[in-house]
Amino acid sequence: MSLFSVLDLSRFQFAMTTIFHFFFVPLSIGTGLIVSIMETLYVVKKDEMYKKMARFWGKIFLLSFAVGVPTGIIQEFQFGMNWSDYSRFVGDIFGAPLAVEALVAFFAESTFIGLWMFTWDRFKPWVHALFIWVTTFASAISALWILGANSFMQNPVAFAIDGKMNRLKLVDFFQLITNPQLGFEFSHVLFGAFVTAAFVIVGMSAFRLLKSEKLGAELTLFYRKSLKIAAIVGLLGSLGSIASGDAQTQFLMKQQPMKFAAMEGVDNTLDSSKRDDKAEPWTVIGFWNAKTHKFVGKIEVPYALSILGNHSLTGGKTVGMNELNKQLQREYGNQSKDYYVPVNTVFYSFRVMAGGAGLVFLLAILALYFNRKDGKQLLKYRWFLWILGIATYLPFVINSAGWLITELGRYPWTVYGLFTTADSVSPNATVPGLLFTNGIFFLAFGLLGIAMIVYARRVLHAGPDDVEYETLAKDKKGEA
Ligand code: HEM
């Protein structure tokens, strides 16, 4: 008997492909926005430095776009290769949004990115800036359609079941794209994208600023200004992520209570009305014992779950995983099946994501504070520049943690309540075949990832071209 099943290996491959692809999606949407802001500043202030910024960081944008597209195509192959039964089941639903994505968003994105790349100085500055705004908008809209499909998997709407064919039929396209899950997911992913790109630019600028003596005044100012713009986007993005994450949590509590109970480590129902303090405590750390179905070794903060979940100091009730498991067994008529999600992974992924959100918020505030006036503090605190540099990688960890919650937390379903992961897998996929493709994908992604980092470092070390800014004289006084 093989150590892994076809299902395990297919799931691993999908997770690997999605996580890798999703490194580049938020990076390109977010850098698109920041480059658009930089170019708009150039149009408004007519300061050549902003034009150089847009061109320079635009290289990172183009790079992430270039790597994001092929990894997305590999992801789409997954459906046919390993998940053919699932593709048959949802084909009628996913066909429409994915076709619109390919036709509208992808065409607009690719056309305008080309226009933007090759027409510097050939159009009026505001027309050229418009090209990058359209590209950014189109890439966000492209994400909307994909998330529409994902939202359907989390919260199926607008469908009928074709019993004879064992597949779903789309009955209302408008309802599909107004799925409430999509509103939450789309805004949360967009804000996360802003944070991602912001911290890549903050971090890369910080690495350069560590060498400020060698850079000279002009380049130092260039990276300080880049860092400032990106930190503002990072600050607003982290606030947006927290607000949209909270709204998503409220929806989740009703729609997928097992995922919420796992996120919060609630084994048996927690009812504030039955407690002396009339409040729910929040479990900071603990461990789910899958054999005893108990959450053990808990460290709790009194009142905190009432505040986070119920938005009040007291009150609130969280149905525990054990009660939910029994409810789900009754609802789906299968007493022998367990509906527990991978609890420890979901629980700790949530702490990584929410803790990471607090950290990026704090780092953005400190970066702006130390960078104010002449930025001397920022340049002096080399330890802080190192932290910002290392934080380049932080949003990628946060995003991956987010996706682990979303996707693992809907176990055992691919389409929540309708179709299980086990039913979704291709009938003719084999263990040796999957071991082979997993190995190939792992190698390909590893190489692409290394190429991306090497190229980004090269771009950074080469610096923005010809740094003769006409308008630098006034900036040399020091205000950034
Ligand atoms: C920088 C901050 C954050 C980033 C980059 C981030 C990123 C993500 C991503 C990429 C996902 C998967 C896509 C989705 O389902 O929306 C996700 C899921 C989620 N996030 Fe966050 N997140 C952040 C902060 C937060 C915070 C502070 C909260 C709670 C207040 C939160 C709550 C959630 C929830 C509940 C889910 C799962 C939703 C579901 O399964 O339907 N996030 N996050």
What atom of ligand 1 comes closest to residue 192's alpha carbon? 5
pLDDT computed for residue 480 by the predictor? 45
For the Cβ of 407 lying below 6 angstroms from any atom of ligand 1, the answer is: no
Residue among 73, 335, 363, 53 nearest 234 (CA): 363
For the Cβ of 242 lying below 6 angstroms from any atom of ligand 1, the answer is: yes
Residue among 143, 137, 148 nearest 95 (CA): 148
pLDDT computed for residue 467 by the predictor? 43
What atom of ligand 1 comes closest to residue 403's alpha carbon? 12
Under 8 Å between Cβ of 48 and 471: yes
For the Cβ of 191 lying below 6 angstroms from any atom of ligand 1, the answer is: no
Could you tell me the sign of the dihedral formed by the alpha carbons of 383, 389, 391, 394, in that order?
Answer: negative
pLDDT computed for residue 183 by the predictor? 97
Under 8 Å between Cβ of 194 and 30: yes
Helix (H), strand (E), coil (C) string for 290-331: CCCCEEEEEEEECCHHHHHHHCCCCECEECCHHHHHHHHHHH
What atom of ligand 1 comes closest to residue 410's alpha carbon? 40
At residue 318, φ and ψ (nearest 5 deg) are: -120, 115
For the Cβ of 155 lying below 6 angstroms from any atom of ligand 1, the answer is: no
Asked if the bond preceding 464 is cis, omega within 30° of 0, the reply is no
For the Cβ of 244 lying below 6 angstroms from any atom of ligand 1, the answer is: no
Low-confidence ranges of the chain (pLDDT < 50): 467-475, 477-480
For the Cβ of 40 lying below 6 angstroms from any atom of ligand 1, the answer is: no
Domain spans, the chain: 6-256+342-474, 261-341
CA of 373 to the centre of ligand 1 (A): 34
Under 8 Å between Cβ of 27 and 453: no
For the Cβ of 320 lying below 6 angstroms from any atom of ligand 1, the answer is: no
Q: Tell me: the pLDDT tens digits for 402-414? A: 999 999 999 999 9
pLDDT computed for residue 472 by the predictor? 44
pLDDT computed for residue 68 by the predictor? 85
pLDDT computed for residue 66 by the predictor? 87
CA of 154 to the centre of ligand 1 (A): 14
Closest residue by CA, ligand 1 atom 19: 402
In sequence order, which residues have a C-beta less than 8 Å from that of residue 123 and are 6 or more positions away? Answer: 131
Rounded to 5°, the CA angle 77-353-414 comes to 35
Amino acid at 160: A
H or E element that contains 127:
helix 125-154
pLDDT computed for residue 474 by the predictor? 47
CA of 402 to the centre of ligand 1 (A): 5
pLDDT computed for residue 404 by the predictor? 97
H or E element that contains 174:
helix 173-177
The predicted model scores a pTM of: 0.93
For the Cβ of 262 lying below 6 angstroms from any atom of ligand 1, the answer is: no
Retrieve residue 232's tokens.
């503002």
